């Protein structure tokens, strides 16, 4: 796809884009409430997770039976393959865990050792949550300051808004699709933030360069021109970065798939936000608080 000398009207139609963004975000928020909140992984709530490899294909009811007999009727079962299950419960000690594994082995037959065996105390989960939020917060502040220094305050704030926009969309998708949020989701979100920023800064950089021409042509035109000029680059970059990530989405293990899912949504949102949100927003800001006038 070549966009040589194309001249789409991004800026003029910006009200449409803002409405689309708002709609998607509201859909996400609605999803959050309809689905009853996020599904938080054991990293945040605490709990126990075992992934077991059964010797033969097994049905979920069989596993459910064994768990109920042991007193874990509220265990969450997830079938990852025809003979593999992920079993989640409240935090349990090693004795109990061995009991579960032994029962499953006796009743159905499993391969030892378990594929995966995790245990997180709720208190620790809270600690991880706190630190994840701090990491996000520190990143945002650091980014804001940097962009403020390199450009101006309004660029910094707009960039952060674009970020928040992308993160909200990603989280919204998680809420609607009822996917679990764990620490790799957080890592993905931080990556998306960095990436979306990448994208946004490339456009901002161009705008900054072209701004002197605003005296003659007006800020609106200059911004639109800048977006058009950086369009090819924006799209090409997203495409090349998405290649390996989409492959991961297709062939990855459940953990990798989760990660790739977040990145895919975030990258698409990030590209969208740099083109259709961040720069047009600058124009709106400028119209309200003019800095660049004809």
Strand partners, 180: 39
Regarding 209 and contact with another protein (CB under 8 A), the answer is yes
Piece of the chain touching another protein by CB under 8 A; list 12-20, 69-77, 182-190, 211-219: 182-190
| Structural contact between residues 228 and 216, judged by C-beta atoms closer than 8 angstroms | no
Rama region for 111: left / alpha / beta (φ>0; ψ in -120 to 50; rest): beta
Selected binder of another protein within 33, 61, 94, 289 (CB under 8 A): 94
Piece of the chain touching another protein by CB under 8 A; list 25-33, 68-76, 186-194, 276-284: 186-194
- What is the C-alpha separation between 282 and 151, in angstroms, rounded? 12
- What is the C-alpha separation between 264 and 286, in angstroms, rounded? 32
| Structural contact between residues 14 and 280, judged by C-beta atoms closer than 8 angstroms | yes
Write down the least CB distance from residue 22 to another protein, Å. Answer: 26
Selected binder of another protein within 260, 269, 278, 282 (CB under 8 A): 260
- What is the C-alpha separation between 117 and 110, in angstroms, rounded? 14
Give the number of C-alpha atoms closer than 13 A to the C-alpha of residue 169, restricted to the C-beta side.
25
- What is the C-alpha separation between 161 and 181, in angstroms, rounded? 22
Write down the least CB distance from residue 210 to another protein, Å. Answer: 11
Binding letters toward another protein, positions 98-127, x by CB under 8 A: x--------------xxxxxxxxx-xx--x
The token pair at 240 is: 């090349």
Write down the least CB distance from residue 179 to another protein, Å. Answer: 17
The token pair at 213 is: 């021409």
Question: Before 184, cis peptide (omega within 30)?
Answer: no
Binding letters toward another protein, positions 17-56, x by CB under 8 A: ----------------------------------x-x---
Write down the least CB distance from residue 23 to another protein, Å. Answer: 28
Selected binder of another protein within 40, 45, 92, 136 (CB under 8 A): 136
| Structural contact between residues 204 and 155, judged by C-beta atoms closer than 8 angstroms | yes
Interface residue list for another protein (CB under 8 A):
4, 51, 53, 94, 97-98, 113-121, 123-124, 127-128, 131-132, 134-136, 138-139, 142-143, 146-147, 150, 183-184, 186-187, 190-191, 193-195, 197-199, 201-202, 205, 209, 229-230, 232-233, 236-237, 239-241, 243-245, 247-248, 251-253, 255-256, 259-260, 263
């Amino acid at each position: 796809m070549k966009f040589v000398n194309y001249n789409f009207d991004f800026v003029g139609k910006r009200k449409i884009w803002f409405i689309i963004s708002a709609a998607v975000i509201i859909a996400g928020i609605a999803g959050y409430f309809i689905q009853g909140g996020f599904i938080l992984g054991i990293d945040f709530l605490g709990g126990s997770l075992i992934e077991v490899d059964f010797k033969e294909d097994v049905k979920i009811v069989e596993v459910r039976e064994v768990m109920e007999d042991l007193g874990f009727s509220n265990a969450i079962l997830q079938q990852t393959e025809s003979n593999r299950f992920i079993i989640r419960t409240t935090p349990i000690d090693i004795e109990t865990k061995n009991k579960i594994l032994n029962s499953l082995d006796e009743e159905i037959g499993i391969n030892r050792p378990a594929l995966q065996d995790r245990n997180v105390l709720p208190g620790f989960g809270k600690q991880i949550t706190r630190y994840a939020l701090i990491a996000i917060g520190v990143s945002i502040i650091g980014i804001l300051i940097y962009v403020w220094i390199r450009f101006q305050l309004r660029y910094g704030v707009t960039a952060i808004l674009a970020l928040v926009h992308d993160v909200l969309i990603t989280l919204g998708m998680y809420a609607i699709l009822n996917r679990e949020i764990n620490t790799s989701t957080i890592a993905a979100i931080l990556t998306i933030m960095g990436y979306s920023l990448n994208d946004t800064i490339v456009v901002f950089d161009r705008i900054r360069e072209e701004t002197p021409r605003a005296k003659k042509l007006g800020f609106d035109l200059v911004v639109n021109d800048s977006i058009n000029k950086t369009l090819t680059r924006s799209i090409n970059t997203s495409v090349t970065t998405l290649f390996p990530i989409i492959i991961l989405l297709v062939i990855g293990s459940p953990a990798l798939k989760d990660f790739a899912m977040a990145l895919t949504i975030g990258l698409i949102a990030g590209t969208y936000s740099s083109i259709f949100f961040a720069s047009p927003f600058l124009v709106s800001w400028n119209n309200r608080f003019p800095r660049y006038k004809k």
